[in-house]
Amino acid sequence: MSTENSIRLGLWVLCITAGVALVGCIALLILMFSRGVQDGLIESAVQSQLQSVQERRERLDAEALHVFVCGAGTPLNREMAQQCLAVVAGDTTLIFDAGARSVVRLLDMPEIDPGGIDAVFITHTHSDHIAGLGELNLISWIGGGRTEPLPVYGAPDVTDVVEGFNRAYSPDGDFRTDHHGEGIAPPQGRPMRPHPFEPGIEMQPVYESGEVSVEAMEVVHPPVRGAVGYRVRHRDRSIVISGDTDLSEDLLKASDGVDVLIHEGMLKDVVALMSRIAAQEGAERLANIFTDILNYHADLAELQDAIAERQIDIRLLLINHLVPQPNFIIERRIKAIFDDAPYRVKLARDRMRISLPLGSAQVEVYPTGD
Ligand SMILES: [Zn+2]
Ligand SMILES: [Zn+2]
């Protein structure tokens, strides 16, 4: 065969192959638009989603204390949900704070059964810690089938917050019960119930369920009234959740010997620099906000010094509620601060899971929850 004929034959083969591929694609598109195929795809998607919920719940080690990060962000963070931690210990599920968008993150975590939430604990009443409370109650009630009021613990102002949300969601609740009936939307499960306590300067018990206990103490977040930190114990494993606080000697003392200290953190030199840049650029309002927030959060370098000086014994420091928003420069700075620390240091991220198997010293970190 001549060279010219070979080229011609090659082109024909290429054209026929492309034509067959095109016809295949068109046929596939037509199939995709047929209702029967669509219904089949929807059916298998719903089935696999329901199966994966069941599998992930069964896979979660019942003999461990688990912490799920359902919101590590702040009002200045556009990427992460605002504050929320879910603690699962045996049959007990506890939520600490319910910031904006945190319910969406919780729904990303099939291990947590919304109807099985035993109690919510509020660290303080800043909006980035409570804005999602109404939605959290709604998914627990309608999504989870709650038949008892959801208990919400916190310093005395928690009563106002809970009653306010109950009132705001009251017409919605009535409509849902009228629509779904009392079997799906039982009125007695709808309102949250406040459990206020008066925090002291030392940890004091506020909740107990089987082998799980929660203690609370006041932290330093002026002018906020009743800002608290919590300590959770499940048999031999324990965590401390700082909530928003400036450096607190008492909280560090209460953290000595726990497995995980979940502490808020700020890089104050970076925030001060951001304030100066904002002022230079004429963004006075932003500059003032950056300056104002410097005096009620914990500087990470000072936190590291304080932990070292007092020889606070922890296995993992989980930095939460980080200001400024993390990026590779911020992460390098944090790494440099904690370079010689005798404990592990991680930045809290949405969907992260920390697991503490009972009867061991292990601290397992799953960055995306899997
Ligand atoms: Zn906050
Ligand atoms: Zn705050």
The answer, yes or no, to whether residue 22 has pLDDT greater than 90, is: no
Mind listing the pLDDT tens digit for each residue in 314-352?
Answer: 999 999 999 998 899 999 999 999 999 999 999 999 999
d(CA 110, CA 49): 9
Mind listing the pLDDT tens digit for each residue in 91-127?
Answer: 999 999 999 999 999 999 989 999 999 999 999 999 9
In the predicted model, what is the mean pLDDT of residues 304-308? 97
The answer, yes or no, to whether residue 277 has pLDDT greater than 90, is: yes
d(CA 70, CA 352): 8
In the predicted model, what is the mean pLDDT of residues 245-257? 97
Residues linked to residue 69 through DSSP beta bridges, in sequence order: 85
- How many Å lie between the centroid of ligand 1 and the Cα of residue 7? 70
**Which fold is adopted by the domain 63-123+195-366?**
Metallo-beta-lactamase; Chain A (3.60.15)
Average pLDDT of the residues of the chain: 93
**Residue 246: CA atoms inside 13 Å, Cβ hemisphere, count?**
11
d(CA 181, CA 174): 10
Strand order in the sheet with 84-89: 193-196, 151-154, 119-121, 92-96, 84-89, 64-71, 353-357, 364-366
- How many Å lie between the centroid of ligand 1 and the Cα of residue 322? 9
* pLDDT computed for residue 369 by the predictor: 64
Mind listing the pLDDT tens digit for each residue in 142-194?
Answer: 989 999 999 999 999 999 999 999 999 999 999 999 999 999 999 999 999 99
Mind listing the pLDDT tens digit for each residue in 198-234?
Answer: 999 999 999 999 999 999 999 999 999 999 999 999 9
Among candidate residues 134, 133, 85, 139, the one with its CA nearest the CA of residue 115 = 139
DSSP letter at 82 equals B
- How many Å lie between the centroid of ligand 2 and the Cα of residue 358? 32
Strand pairing category for 344-347 and 316-323? parallel
Alpha helices in 124-207 (DSSP H): 127-130, 133-138, 158-168, 170-180
- How many Å lie between the centroid of ligand 2 and the Cα of residue 331? 22
- How many Å lie between the centroid of ligand 1 and the Cα of residue 244? 6
The answer, yes or no, to whether residue 53 has pLDDT greater than 90, is: no
Is the model more confident about 53 or about 93?
Answer: 93
* pLDDT computed for residue 21 by the predictor: 82
- How many Å lie between the centroid of ligand 1 and the Cα of residue 111? 26
Mind listing the pLDDT tens digit for each residue in 156-170?
Answer: 999 999 999 999 999
Ligand closest to Cα of 321 equals: 1
- How many Å lie between the centroid of ligand 1 and the Cα of residue 227? 10
- With pLDDT > 70 as the criterion, what percentage of the chain qualifies? 99
- How many Å lie between the centroid of ligand 2 and the Cα of residue 20? 62
Ligand closest to Cα of 296 equals: 2
d(CA 297, CA 4): 78
- How many Å lie between the centroid of ligand 1 and the Cα of residue 329? 22
* pLDDT computed for residue 370 by the predictor: 66
Residue 2 pLDDT grade (very low, low, confident, very high; cuts 50, 70, 90): low
Domain boundaries, the chain: 3-33, 63-123+195-366
Quick one: which H or E segment has residue 206? Answer: strand 204-209
- How many Å lie between the centroid of ligand 2 and the Cα of residue 42? 43
| Spatial contact of 307 and 252, defined as CB atoms under 8 Å apart | yes
d(CA 260, CA 87): 12
- How many Å lie between the centroid of ligand 1 and the Cα of residue 221? 10
* pLDDT computed for residue 58 by the predictor: 83
* pLDDT computed for residue 32 by the predictor: 72
Three-class SS of residue 146? Answer: coil
- How many Å lie between the centroid of ligand 1 and the Cα of residue 290? 14
* pLDDT computed for residue 35 by the predictor: 83
- How many Å lie between the centroid of ligand 2 and the Cα of residue 26? 56
The total number of residues written for the chain in this structure: 370
* pLDDT computed for residue 1 by the predictor: 61
In the predicted model, what is the mean pLDDT of residues 250-266? 97
Provide the angle, in degrees to the nearest 10, between the axes of the packed helices 268-280 and 284-292: 160
- How many Å lie between the centroid of ligand 2 and the Cα of residue 301? 20
- How many Å lie between the centroid of ligand 1 and the Cα of residue 348? 14
* pLDDT computed for residue 185 by the predictor: 93
| Spatial contact of 269 and 285, defined as CB atoms under 8 Å apart | no
* pLDDT computed for residue 47 by the predictor: 86
Residue 282: other Cβ atoms inside 10 A: 9
- How many Å lie between the centroid of ligand 1 and the Cα of residue 116? 26
| Spatial contact of 369 and 352, defined as CB atoms under 8 Å apart | yes
* pLDDT computed for residue 135 by the predictor: 97
* pLDDT computed for residue 34 by the predictor: 81
- How many Å lie between the centroid of ligand 2 and the Cα of residue 227? 8
- With pLDDT > 90 as the criterion, what percentage of the chain qualifies? 77
